[in-house]
Amino acid sequence: MTRRSVSDTTVARDLLRLDRDHLWHPYTAARDSAHHVVRDGDGPWLTLLDADGREHRALDGMGSWWAMVHGHRHPALVEAVTEQASRLAHVMFGGLTHGPAVALAERLLELTPAELEHVFLADSGSVSVEVALKLTHQAQAARGRPERDRFLTVRGGYHGDTIGAMSVCDPVNGMHAAFGAMVHTNIFAPRPPAARPTAAGWQTDDAALESWAHEFRRLADQHHDEVAGVIVEPVLQGAGGMYVYAPEALRVMREVCDEHGFTLIADEIATGFGRTGRWLACEWAEVVPDVLCLGKALTGGIMTGAAVLCTREIADAISSGTPPALMHGPTFMANPLFCAAACASLDLLADPENGWSTQVPTIERGLQDGLDAARGLPGVADVRVLGGVGVVEMTEPVDLPRLTAAAVARGVWLRPFGRLVYVMPPYVSTPAEIEHLCSGLVGAVADVAHTQDANA
Ligand SMILES: *Cc1c(COP(=O)(O)O)cnc(C)c1O
């Protein structure tokens, strides 16, 4: 490509054209193009250029897929990564260690249940799930149960896109059929009944919860010889449906694991770091998992990186097995830039004055107030808020291009899927910004419903 001095219009057009011709995007056909170029980010805001080079400031309602909790270009994170890059950007983790990795492990041990004592620093969420599944099976094999090589989970889950992680995603949403025998067949219980947190506690259908628990126990009994562990997103299922269920169901899973010697894996890649209104979503149920996966917001969204924590018992079991080692070790394991970013992000989150514990409740109130206006709009089936997550569920699948365009026109970046229009904004969003986000979302939903009526 030749270098030229060009206007934003030409730049945006060229980028969008080259992008359409050559780049894959998440879950899209080869020529499903992006419609906007992101020029930069600033706090919770993105500056987007459309194909005509027009500039749009849009609030990052998706928090860049749960990750960008401190907003874009946070000075403390930029400094942590820049400073680390100037000393050591990467080094192999085989036979070597470094300050940022140990500092991150120390912080994670401090910030998670005391039972979790051993840390694997992985390069993405899906990889951390692979590691969690592998280490669970390895520990079972080391305890003399090598036949335990399947997982019990609930429908509606999402655990990542690699083949192992896919095998525990919802079989329908996760499109198992498209991959045939590549996907290991696991055991799926129904998803627990929906629930809502209220001032008076969690509201759920107790009878439905009881029959769900009965079915979960039945499946565990039926498959107890082959199940290595239970993997679940605590309380909030994210990409599988933005679905909230009662903490009681998680307690049932913990009990079942204890009764059968299954490992309980909590996938908190989306729910961790305060997003649901608790530091870890497991805390809603006062449940301690045996294995914990963290990712997404772990670095405040500025680097890729994830972590798997496990108990001493599991770590020791693996180390006495055959082979006597956890069989995973990616090239970018414990990358120093990732570790430095994660340490800086965790420090910001822990700030008692202006960390997650003050930010998330403020956002929750803002989402409750602001999304209330969606109730009763044509096509809206349900509105729900948990911590820093707001969901407007429609009765029909959303017209994605039209809704995104309507939202951008209102200064908001949204990326609905299926029937769900949802937000998990950066924690640094002010009350006025949350109001802007909610009115943009509600307005876009109304705009699209309105034009659909007009076309009908
Ligand atoms: C996003 C997500 C993953 C996968 O993480 P990646 O970093 O995208 O590989 C796994 N589990 C849950 C619950 C997630 O939300």
Q: Whose CA is nearest to atom 8 of ligand 1?
A: 125
Task: Give the model's pLDDT for residue 456.
Answer: 54
pLDDT by residue (tens digit) across 282-326? 999 999 999 999 999 999 999 999 999 999 999 999 999 999 999
Q: Whose CA is nearest to atom 15 of ligand 1?
A: 270
Nearby residues of 304 by Cβ (< 8 Å), 6 or more positions away: 123, 124, 338
From residue 439, how far is each of 369, 374, 375, 407, 418 by CA, in Å?
Answer: 10, 9, 13, 10, 21
Is 27 annotated in the active site? yes
Phi and psi at residue 186, in whole multiples of 5°? -110, -175
Mutate-to-test residue for ligand 1 from 126, 280, 293, highest number of ligand atoms within 8 A of CB: 126
Distance 92 CA to ligand 1 centre (A): 24
pTM: 0.96
- Is residue 331 a known part of a binding site? yes
Distance 67 CA to ligand 1 centre (A): 10
Region 75-350: CATH code: 3.40.640.10
CB-based burial of residue 60 (10 Å sphere; 0-12 exposed, 13-18 middle, 19+ buried)? buried
Q: State the catalytic residue, choosing from 170, 296, 422, 427.
A: 296
Is 268's C-beta closer than 6 angstroms to any atom of ligand 1? no
How many angstroms separate the CA atoms of 336 and 357, rounded?
27
Band (pLDDT 50/70/90 cuts) for residue 7 is low
Q: Report whether 270 contacts 280 (CB < 8 A).
A: no
Q: Whose CA is nearest to atom 5 of ligand 1?
A: 125
Is 129's C-beta closer than 6 angstroms to any atom of ligand 1? yes
- Is residue 158 a known part of a binding site? yes
Q: Whose CA is nearest to atom 11 of ligand 1?
A: 159
Is 134 annotated in the active site? no
Residue with tokens 């509201």: 203
How many angstroms separate the CA atoms of 43 and 122, rounded?
27
Angle at 232 between CA 226 and CA 234, to 5 degrees: 150
How many angstroms separate the CA atoms of 11 and 393, rounded?
37
Q: Report whether 133 contacts 142 (CB < 8 A).
A: no
Q: Average pLDDT over the chain, rounded to whole?
A: 95
Is the pLDDT at 452 greater than 90, yes or no? no
Question: How many residues make up the chain in this entry?
Answer: 456
Is 238's C-beta closer than 6 angstroms to any atom of ligand 1? yes
Residue with tokens 């820049």: 82
- Is residue 192 a known part of a binding site? no
From residue 135, how far is each of 51, 128, 186, 309, 415 by CA, in Å?
Answer: 47, 10, 17, 11, 34
Band (pLDDT 50/70/90 cuts) for residue 1 is very low
Measured from the Cα of 237, ligand 1's closest atom is 13
Domain spans in the chain, listed from the N-terminal domain onward: 8-64+356-453, 75-350
How many angstroms separate the CA atoms of 217 and 176, rounded?
25
Distance 131 CA to ligand 1 centre (A): 13
Is 232's C-beta closer than 6 angstroms to any atom of ligand 1? no
Instruction: Return the number of other C-beta atoms located less than 10 Å from residue 375's C-beta.
Output: 11
Distance 167 CA to ligand 1 centre (A): 14
Nearby residues of 404 by Cβ (< 8 Å), 6 or more positions away: 35, 413, 414, 415, 416
Is 422 annotated in the active site? no
Distance 200 CA to ligand 1 centre (A): 32
Phi and psi at residue 265, in whole multiples of 5°? -105, 120
Is 281's C-beta closer than 6 angstroms to any atom of ligand 1? no
Distance 270 CA to ligand 1 centre (A): 7
pLDDT by residue (tens digit) across 215-271? 999 999 999 999 999 999 999 999 999 999 999 999 999 999 999 999 999 999 999
Region 8-64+356-453: CATH code: 3.90.1150.10
Is 188's C-beta closer than 6 angstroms to any atom of ligand 1? no
Phi and psi at residue 338, in whole multiples of 5°? -60, -50
Distance 277 CA to ligand 1 centre (A): 19
Is 13's C-beta closer than 6 angstroms to any atom of ligand 1? no
- Is residue 267 a known part of a binding site? yes
Residue/partner pairs of 216-223 with CB below 8 Å, 24 or more apart: 216/154, 216/189, 216/249, 216/252, 216/253, 216/256, 217/252, 217/256, 219/152, 219/187, 219/189, 220/152, 220/256, 220/259, 220/260, 220/262, 223/150, 223/152, 223/187
Task: Give the model's pLDDT for residue 2.
Answer: 36
Is 276's C-beta closer than 6 angstroms to any atom of ligand 1? no
- Is residue 347 a known part of a binding site? no
Task: Give the model's pLDDT for residue 4.
Answer: 39
Task: Give the model's pLDDT for residue 31.
Answer: 85
Q: State the catalytic residue, choosing from 158, 243, 245, 422.
A: 158
Distance 128 CA to ligand 1 centre (A): 9
Is the pLDDT at 143 greater than 90, yes or no? yes
- Is residue 247 a known part of a binding site? no
From residue 354, how far is each of 12, 221, 388 by CA, in Å?
Answer: 37, 47, 15
Is 206 annotated in the active site? no
- Is residue 245 a known part of a binding site? no
What's the N-to-C CA distance of the chain in angstroms?
Answer: 47
pLDDT by residue (tens digit) across 176-210? 889 999 999 999 999 999 999 988 999 999 999 99
Which amino acid, 161? D
Q: Report whether 59 contacts 413 (CB < 8 A).
A: yes
pLDDT by residue (tens digit) across 159-183? 999 999 999 999 998 888 899 999 9
- Is residue 329 a known part of a binding site? yes
Is 159's C-beta closer than 6 angstroms to any atom of ligand 1? yes
Q: State the catalytic residue, choosing from 267, 290, 422, 427.
A: 267
pLDDT by residue (tens digit) across 43-77? 999 999 999 999 999 999 999 999 999 999 999 99
